[in-house]
């Protein structure tokens, strides 16, 4: 029994590593971009922790979406599968980004309704849209890479990228 649990946990961790690394890099770059665009040049520990927690949440959410039958809806054609998963993941990540903007405002103003009202005026919407476009573009690259690894195999990709022969 303990061996099966250990195997399942190891499998979950192995599947979570690529999206976690991807989103760690992406969310930290987005946080840095936002700080510079808003002329707030301090990248605080709280902001970094928020980006890290966000990356972990979104990576786990991707694993959940992957387990749903909805994710395999267009699995016959790889290009359509890449676009479909990009759309699914983008919707999820954009909801997360909106919540990321809303939660501090709701906390600051005392309620969700007041936070929504403040969000309409306090949020830099052009910056939000540009950062969202970067997220969608990054997700497209992530989905493309994941689909290529699935098609070619992880061992062959390692061999191609690092010149390491697998025996």
Express each pLDDT in 60-69 by its tens digit: 778 888 888 8
Summary mean pLDDT of the chain: 83
Locate the domains of the chain by residue range.
2-162
pTM of this prediction?
0.75
Hey, what's the torsion of the CAs at 16, 20, 22, 25, to 10 degrees? -170
Q: Give the span between the Cα atoms of 84 and 74, in whole angstroms.
A: 7
Q: By percentage, how much of the chain surpasses pLDDT 70?
A: 92
Q: Give the span between the Cα atoms of 139 and 134, in whole angstroms.
A: 8
Q: How far is CA 143 from CA 21, 70, 97, 109, in A?
A: 14, 15, 19, 38
């Amino acid at each position: 029994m303990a061996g099966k649990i250990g195997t399942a946990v190891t499998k979950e961790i192995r599947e979570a590593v690529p999206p976690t690394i991807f989103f760690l890099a992406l969310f930290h770059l987005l946080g840095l971009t936002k700080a510079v665009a808003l002329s707030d040049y301090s990248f605080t520990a709280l902001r970094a922790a928020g980006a890290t927690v966000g990356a972990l949440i979104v990576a786990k959410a991707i694993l959940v979406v992957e387990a749903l039958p909805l994710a395999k809806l267009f699995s016959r054609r790889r290009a359509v599968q890449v676009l479909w998963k990009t759309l699914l993941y983008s919707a999820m990540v954009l909801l997360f980004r909106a919540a990321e903007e809303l939660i501090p405002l709701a906390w600051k103003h005392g309620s969700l309704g007041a936070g929504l009202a403040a969000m309409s005026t306090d949020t830099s919407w052009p910056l939000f849209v540009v950062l969202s476009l970067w997220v969608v573009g990054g997700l497209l690259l992530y989905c493309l890479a994941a689909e290529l690894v699935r098609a070619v195999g992880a061992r062959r990709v390692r061999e191609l990228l690092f010149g390491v022969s697998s025996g």
